[in-house]
Amino acid sequence: MTPPQPTVVLVGPPGSGKSTVAAALAERWQLAARDTDADVEATSGRTIADIFVEDGEPAFRALERAAVAAAVAEHDGVLALGGGAVLDPGTQALLAGYAEQGGVVVFLDVSLAHAAPRVGLNQSRPLLLGNPRAQWQALMEARRPVYEAVSTVRVLTDGLTPAQVAELVEDALAERRRTVQEAP
């Protein structure tokens, strides 16, 4: 069986710390960090907000789907997915296959109270325009079941520094390895 490409994949809502925790884990493990939102922006030459405004969400999601597929196939470090990437059925299937091969998908969970200051709830987040707090809450209510379904590990990030979250992720991975090794 071919081992999964990324060492770990991080998923979660805006403000959960995916990109920052990916960087912290990559530094701890001496690996590269990769963020699919950054990949989309690099490939398109535009910001995500510009893609949403100029081309619409479906066009962004198509770029995102391709970025996730490429990253899971190519990247052997720490991978952070955009908050909505898990909504795509193809991405869900890709993550399920990755997990079946022994890959670890970590759901970085966060409450609105802790996400709001991290996100800033500003215009660079197109899905949070209007009433950002209400939009974030609705987004999270819709996405939580998907985050839980695609993940193999959940880590609550409320009140923690990126280094503390990285440590919890490491602990969860170590526990998962012990459990797998002890299984008959």
- Residue 132 resides in a domain: yes
d(CA 33, CA 106): 15
Domain contains 43 = yes
Residue 24, domain member (yes or no)? yes
Domain count, the chain: 1
Percent of residues, the chain, with pLDDT higher than 90: 61
Name the residue among 51, 59, 54, 16 with its Cα closest to residue 35: 16
Residue 82 lies in a domain: yes
Residue 2 lies in a domain: no
105's CB contacts (< 8 A; 6+ apart) are 8, 9, 10, 11, 95, 98, 99, 150, 151, 152, 153
Determine the average pLDDT of the residues in 17-36: 95
Tell me the backbone φ, ψ of residue 120, rounded to 5 degrees: 80, -10
**For residue 133, what pLDDT band results from cuts at 50, 70 and 90?**
low
The reported pLDDT for the residue numbered 178 is 81
- The mean of the pLDDT values for the chain is 86
Q: What pLDDT is attached to residue 131?
A: 59
Per DSSP, the three-state class of 84 is coil
Q: Is residue 1 part of a domain?
A: no
Q: Is 166 a member of any domain?
A: yes
pLDDT at 56 over 80: yes
pTM: 0.87
Asked if 113 and 13 count as a contact pair (C-beta separation under 8 A), the reply is no
For 74, the domain range is 8-182
From the list 100, 72, 74, 73, the residue with the least C-alpha distance to 86 is 72
Per the listing, tokens 């710390």 go with 17
Report the CATH number at residue 124: 3.40.50.300
